[in-house]
């Protein structure tokens, strides 16, 4: 039977597949920092070359930002069914604070740890390791069977970690080419160590940056301290006022479009017996810090948030400088759920900030992207086929779950192309994505490749 | 008469005196940043050489930090009277944000401005330009008269802008050598453009740095947002809670040792007709932002403050990073008045911060120095002699004033050596000390030198 042969081939090829991933991980494709523009380009080139080598018609496509990679199978008829579009992103998060990395972030290596072998390096889990699981599944399938069991295309972007400014225009302009029967997105995680998951709820994201200006320049705190406005104090009051004592966000109308969790889904989630103590314990925390009266899974999957992601003002170097800063800035993001409208919340947030400004202070805003929450319909048969296939590969049955992160691409597939997206991924909670020492378990990579082979097999039957 | 000859000599020598100051200003002696250690040393060497060239026995004296410079007149008897000890500091503030400087901070130059000629560069006003006024007065006096009219010593430190860690031990160990009849300190300003001032009240300073730690590492705000503690939010609440709605500091017992202003001094200050609108207007502000019900001069001279001097957490670069920071830090300083005890306030502040910490957060403190407020007695005849001499040099009569800044050295002269200190300086409010584009008016420099010649003359009669 061909699936068994493909799975064997995957097992035999694991070392070579890992080497290919390490090569891709060595490219520092940090999309948010203009200094790494050429590296983003190089990562796109590498993917084009790799996909071409396994028989895809792969091209790098210009955008005003970093390029897209689009590839189609040349050996399957254009009208063959089903047509599956696989999405991933080749860009990665910045690496600071660099001094907290135990190994250089872009010198990836296989590492033996107490919990098994891991691939260590920036992007190993988010998302280069994940996107390569599907590429490797296709490579193995082709090596064994010559042709793939379905019509498969690839769509990789390089701006996912920096707000995806080129994504919607590109998808809109190339809608006919990118449309498929189902989109497959590999940028999420397992639910538990041995429990695969298909994400059916995703939080949206609104990114805001604000700079409060008080005096026209930095002042001496002896000469001016007491009599002049300190924008750092104003910013602190604004941030402190964003939550009430129950942990709820105070921005006007924030909860207007936030639905309560349906009882059926609440029951399913309770059945998952989420171990929040160990989830938090691994990062040095012990108590859920969100809204009073909400379960930890609700806090992460189905409740909106407001968080400070960055904060800076005045003198931040060694020693002390008795300066009254002229400006104070913060990067603040909102995770959105249900039908929350990012643009409405942006306006509400702006009005809140304005209302907190004392005389002699002004504010400037910078927009860092906005996306609504996503809700996947599981009606398409691919969902149940994938759930069964995943359950065969992993020790535990696969679950339909929520995801606290924001993967706007799922909504774009639906809204722009009319295509349902299925989110399957193999990351683990301790992968430290967006943090120092990011890793991807070798098991995630290996069983991830095998999982896609099983899913392809199930979908093409 | 010898004073007139000295004043003439000062006028003739102004260009050469300015060149000497520019040479000293070119040395980037930033004491708070270890990268500039050799430059601090070079500034001390330069002063030793310059004082030696005018007949002083000048030596560079080692400390655990940057060196002191001590110099005595070799031509006046050791027991001559009066013995005047002149203090200044050769170290300067850091220069960031560097991009706000119109000219490089350590390439000083004379500049023609709408308000007259200025010496532009870091340290021009604070304190190299000021300390050179006294050196130049001595140089001119010696050139004209051969010997000085009093026994004069110099004491320069290089750690004033970084908390003066070596000062008290050095003064204690060298008390006999440093003791004098009066100490003269040139590190303050004119009261108005044409009104010289002698400072009789100085605020103290307590410098604190705190770092709040929540999660053990930076987290992904999608995966953890909502359920985990964000230390930047905790820090914002701590800072926001430091002041009440009346602008008063909430730290327990903060106002216990703060006296009300005596009515006589309040009346004197009211007579000064301080133009707070133009004082604030020059830095883009319009309203006094301190405690309700206090006059602007009270806010600056006789009321204690609590200010944020620096703030940082999470991702502060270009673009956006959806990170939940592991840590958030602030540099916070308190200006102290009356009998406020910095150590008692440090404990109170620490207790306040601890009381604001939620579960799963911890705090680390770093101490950046502590000094009490200073109160100069004007009983010594030198004060009235200097006030009359200053009034002869400048258009308006000299005033006894307060100073919002902290010049702990004045307290040390009194407490360690039993010597009264007289603070006379020629800085102007728009000198932008501690800020980009620091300058010293050429008139301040010129009339400052002349003022000291007049004061020396008055004191030796």
Residue with tokens 């809109």: A172
Nearest to A217 among B228, B404, B436 (CB): B436
| Chain B positions in Cβ-Cβ contact with residue A302 (cut-off 8 Å) | none
CA pair distance A204, B209, nearest whole angstrom: 36
Give the whole-number percent of chain B exceeding pLDDT 70: 100
| Residues B417-452 pLDDT 10s | 999 899 999 999 889 998 999 999 999 999 999 999
| Residues B95-104 pLDDT 10s | 998 999 999 9
Residues B68 and B166 sit within 8 Å (Cβ to Cβ): yes
**If you average pLDDT over residues B403-424, what whole number do you get?**
89
**If you average pLDDT over residues A373-392, what whole number do you get?**
89
Q: Look at residue A79 in the predicted model and tell me its pLDDT.
A: 76
CA pair distance A335, A342, nearest whole angstrom: 9
Q: How far is A325 from chain B (nearest CA, A)?
A: 7
Is it the case that residue B1 has pLDDT exceeding 60?
A: no
CA pair distance A139, A18, nearest whole angstrom: 13
Is it the case that residue A71 has pLDDT exceeding 90?
A: yes
Nearest to B434 among A218, A331, A335 (CB): A218
Is it the case that residue B259 has pLDDT exceeding 90?
A: yes
Contact between A404 and B333 using a beta-carbon 8 Å cutoff: no
Nearest to B435 among A162, A217, A228 (CB): A217
Q: Look at residue A460 in the predicted model and tell me its pLDDT.
A: 85
Q: Look at residue A74 in the predicted model and tell me its pLDDT.
A: 84
Positive/negative CA dihedral, A401, A403, A407, A411: positive
> C-alpha distances in angstroms, B352 versus A241, B250, B254, B325, B345?
19, 9, 11, 23, 10
CA pair distance B51, B58, nearest whole angstrom: 6
Is it the case that residue A1 has pLDDT exceeding 70?
A: no
Nearest to A315 among B242, B317, B331 (CB): B331
Residue with tokens 């000021």: B130
Residues B325 and B204 sit within 8 Å (Cβ to Cβ): no
Q: Look at residue B405 in the predicted model and tell me its pLDDT.
A: 80
Contact between B305 and A236 using a beta-carbon 8 Å cutoff: no
Q: Which residues are CB-contacts of B289 (< 8 A; sequence separation ≥ 6)?
A: A227, A228, A229, A230, A358, A360, B247
Closest residue in B to A229 (Cα–Cα)? B289
Q: Look at residue B220 in the predicted model and tell me its pLDDT.
A: 86
Q: Look at residue A47 in the predicted model and tell me its pLDDT.
A: 98
Nearest to B406 among A222, A307, A321 (CB): A222
Could you give the 3-state DSSP secondary structure of residue B205?
strand
Closest residue in A to B126 (Cα–Cα)? A220
Q: Look at residue A192 in the predicted model and tell me its pLDDT.
A: 86
More confidently predicted of B351 and B435: B351
Q: Look at residue A374 in the predicted model and tell me its pLDDT.
A: 86
A interface mutation test: which of B98, B222, B299 has the most A CBs within 10 A? Answer: B222
**If you average pLDDT over residues A66-75, what whole number do you get?**
95
Residue B14: in which H helix or E strand, if any?
helix B14-25
> Residue B374 gets which letter from DSSP?
E
**If you average pLDDT over residues A360-379, what whole number do you get?**
90
Q: Look at residue B365 in the predicted model and tell me its pLDDT.
A: 98
**If you average pLDDT over residues B151-167, what whole number do you get?**
95
Q: How far is B309 from chain A (nearest CA, A)?
A: 5
| Residues B191-231 pLDDT 10s | 989 999 999 888 999 999 999 999 999 998 888 988 999 99
More confidently predicted of A319 and A128: A128
| Chain B positions in Cβ-Cβ contact with residue A224 (cut-off 8 Å) | 283, 300, 404
| Residues B36-84 pLDDT 10s | 999 999 999 999 999 999 999 999 999 999 999 999 998 887 777 789 9
CA pair distance B95, B105, nearest whole angstrom: 7
Contact between A299 and B226 using a beta-carbon 8 Å cutoff: yes
Residue with tokens 């190299």: B128
Residue A237's pLDDT band, with cuts at 50, 70 and 90, is very high
The dotted CATH code for B204-258+304-371 is 3.30.70.360
Q: Domain spanning A2-202+373-459: which CATH class is it, in words?
A: alpha beta
Residue A18's pLDDT band, with cuts at 50, 70 and 90, is very high
| Chain B positions in Cβ-Cβ contact with residue A435 (cut-off 8 Å) | 217-220, 323
Could you give the 3-state DSSP secondary structure of residue B57?
strand
Positive/negative CA dihedral, A286, A290, A294, A300: negative
More confidently predicted of A414 and B453: B453
Q: Look at residue B158 in the predicted model and tell me its pLDDT.
A: 98
Give the whole-number percent of chain A exceeding pLDDT 90: 83
Could you give the 3-state DSSP secondary structure of residue B80?
coil
Contact between B286 and A223 using a beta-carbon 8 Å cutoff: no
Q: A–B: how many Cβ contacts below 8 A?
A: 361
Closest residue in B to A279 (Cα–Cα)? B224
Residues A360 and B289 sit within 8 Å (Cβ to Cβ): yes
Could you give the 3-state DSSP secondary structure of residue B84?
strand
CA pair distance B155, B179, nearest whole angstrom: 11
**If you average pLDDT over residues A430-438, what whole number do you get?**
93
Q: How far is B234 from chain A (nearest CA, A)?
A: 8
Q: Look at residue B272 in the predicted model and tell me its pLDDT.
A: 87
| Chain A positions in Cβ-Cβ contact with residue B237 (cut-off 8 Å) | 236, 240
| Chain A positions in Cβ-Cβ contact with residue B360 (cut-off 8 Å) | 284-287, 289
Q: How far is B136 from chain A (nearest CA, A)?
A: 27
**If you average pLDDT over residues B148-169, what whole number do you get?**
95
| Residues B5-27 pLDDT 10s | 999 999 999 999 999 999 999 99
Q: How far is B7 from chain A (nearest CA, A)?
A: 31
Q: Which two tokens stand for residue A260?
A: 């309560």
Is it the case that residue A380 has pLDDT exceeding 70?
A: yes
**If you average pLDDT over residues A356-380, what whole number do you get?**
91
Is it the case that residue A182 has pLDDT exceeding 80?
A: yes
Closest residue in A to B360 (Cα–Cα)? A285
Residue A269's pLDDT band, with cuts at 50, 70 and 90, is confident
Q: Which residues are CB-contacts of A19 (< 8 A; sequence separation ≥ 6)?
A: none
Topology (CATH) of A212-255+304-368:
Alpha-Beta Plaits (3.30.70)
Q: How far is B322 from chain A (nearest CA, A)?
A: 6
Contact between A276 and B227 using a beta-carbon 8 Å cutoff: yes
Residues B62 and B79 sit within 8 Å (Cβ to Cβ): no
Nearest to A321 among B233, B309, B316 (CB): B309
| Residues B173-191 pLDDT 10s | 999 999 999 999 999 999 9
More confidently predicted of A446 and B460: A446
Contact between A311 and B307 using a beta-carbon 8 Å cutoff: no
Stretch among A156-160, B158-162, B377-381 having the lowest mean pLDDT: B377-381
What's the complex ipTM?
Answer: 0.77
Residue B126: in which H helix or E strand, if any?
none
Nearest to B94 among A33, A289, A317 (CB): A317
> C-alpha distances in angstroms, B189 versus A76, A213, B270, B430?
83, 27, 19, 10
| Chain B positions in Cβ-Cβ contact with residue A303 (cut-off 8 Å) | 226
B interface mutation test: which of A215, A309, A425 has the most B CBs within 10 A? Answer: A309
A interface mutation test: which of B89, B202, B221 has the most A CBs within 10 A? Answer: B221
Is it the case that residue B264 has pLDDT exceeding 90?
A: no
Q: Look at residue A407 in the predicted model and tell me its pLDDT.
A: 80
Nearest to B314 among A224, A310, A314 (CB): A310
Contact between B312 and A309 using a beta-carbon 8 Å cutoff: no
Give CA A222 to chain center in angstroms.
46
- The number of beta carbons lying within 10 Å of the beta carbon of residue A340 is 23
Q: How would you classify the pairing of strands B362-371 and B204-213?
A: antiparallel
Q: Look at residue A418 in the predicted model and tell me its pLDDT.
A: 93
Residue with tokens 């050598």: B177
Contact between A218 and B436 using a beta-carbon 8 Å cutoff: yes
Q: Look at residue B247 in the predicted model and tell me its pLDDT.
A: 96
**Phi first, then psi: what are they for A96, rounded to 5°?**
-70, 150
Residue B410: in which H helix or E strand, if any?
helix B409-417
A interface mutation test: which of B122, B289, B335, B408 has the most A CBs within 10 A? Answer: B289
Architecture per CATH, B2-199+373-459:
3-Layer(aba) Sandwich (3.40)
Closest residue in B to A280 (Cα–Cα)? B228
Contact between A311 and B310 using a beta-carbon 8 Å cutoff: no
| Residues A406-427 pLDDT 10s | 788 988 998 899 998 999 999 9
Q: How far is A119 from chain B (nearest CA, A)?
A: 19
Enumerate the domain spans of chain A. 2-202+373-459, 212-255+304-368
Q: Look at residue B433 in the predicted model and tell me its pLDDT.
A: 92
Nearest to A331 among B240, B315, B435 (CB): B315
Q: How far is B30 from chain A (nearest CA, A)?
A: 11
Q: Look at residue A221 in the predicted model and tell me its pLDDT.
A: 86
**If you average pLDDT over residues A327-337, what whole number do you get?**
97
**If you average pLDDT over residues B249-256, what whole number do you get?**
98
Closest residue in B to A434 (Cα–Cα)? B220
Stretch among A379-388, B365-374, B401-410 having the lowest mean pLDDT: B401-410
Stretch among A145-159, A221-235, A257-271, B386-400 having the lowest mean pLDDT: A257-271
Contact between A368 and B320 using a beta-carbon 8 Å cutoff: yes
Q: How far is A233 from chain B (nearest CA, A)?
A: 6
Could you give the 3-state DSSP secondary structure of residue B384?
helix
């Amino acid at each position: 039977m061909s699936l068994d042969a493909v799975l064997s081939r995957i097992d035999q090829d694991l070392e070579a597949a890992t080497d290919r991933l390490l090569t891709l991980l060595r490219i520092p494709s940090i999309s948010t920092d203009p200094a790494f523009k050429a590296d983003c380009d190089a990562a796109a080139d590498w993917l084009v070359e790799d996909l071409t080598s396994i028989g895809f018609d792969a091209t790098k496509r210009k955008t005003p930002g970093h390029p897209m990679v689009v590839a189609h199978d040349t050996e399957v008829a254009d009208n063959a069914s089903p047509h599956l579009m696989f999405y991933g992103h080749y860009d990665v998060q910045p690496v600071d604070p660099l001094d907290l990395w135990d190994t250089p972030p872009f010198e990836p290596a296989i590492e033996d740890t107490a919990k098994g072998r891991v691939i260590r390096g920036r992007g190993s889990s988010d998302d280069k390791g994940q996107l390569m699981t599907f590429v490797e599944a296709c490579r193995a399938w082709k090596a064994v069977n010559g042709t793939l069991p379905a019509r498969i295309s690839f769509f990789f972007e390089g701006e996912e970690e920096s707000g995806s400014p080129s994504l919607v225009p590109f998808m809109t302009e190339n809608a006919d080419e990118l449309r498929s029967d189902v989109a497959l997105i590999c940028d999420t995680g397992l639910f538990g160590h041995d429990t695969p998951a298909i994400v059916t709820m995703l939080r949206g994201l609104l990114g805001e940056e604000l700079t409060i200006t008080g005096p026209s320049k930095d002042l001496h705190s002896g000469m001016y301290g007491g009599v002049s406005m300190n924008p750092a104090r104003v910013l602190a009051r604004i941030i402190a006022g964003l939550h009430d004592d129950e942990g709820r966000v105070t921005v006007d109308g924030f909860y207007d479009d936030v639905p309560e969790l349906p009882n059926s889904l609440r029951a399913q989630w309770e059945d998952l017996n989420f171990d929040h103590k160990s989830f938090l314990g691994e990062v040095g925390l012990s108590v859920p810090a969100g809204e009073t009266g909400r379960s930890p899974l609700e806090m992460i999957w189905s409740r909106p948030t407001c968080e400070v992601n960055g904060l800076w003002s005045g003198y931040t170097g060694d020693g002390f400088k008795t300066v009254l800063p002229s400006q104070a800035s913060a990067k603040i993001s909102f995770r959105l759920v249900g039908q929350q409208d990012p643009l409405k919340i942006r306006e509400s947030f702006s009005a809140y900030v304005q209302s907190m400004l004392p005389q002699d202070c002004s504010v400037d805003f910078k927009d860092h992207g906005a996306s609504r929450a996503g809700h996947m319909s599981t009606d398409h048969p691919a969902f149940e086929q994938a759930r069964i296939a995943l359950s065969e590969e992993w020790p535990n049955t696969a679950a339909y779950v929520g995801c606290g992160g924001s993967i706007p691409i799922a909504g774009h597939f639906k809204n722009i192309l009319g295509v349902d997206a299925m989110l399957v991924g193999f990351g683990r909670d301790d992968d430290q994505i967006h943090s120092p020492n990011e890793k991807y378990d070798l098991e995630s990579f290996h069983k991830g490749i095998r999982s896609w082979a099983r899913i392809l097999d199930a979908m093409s039957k």
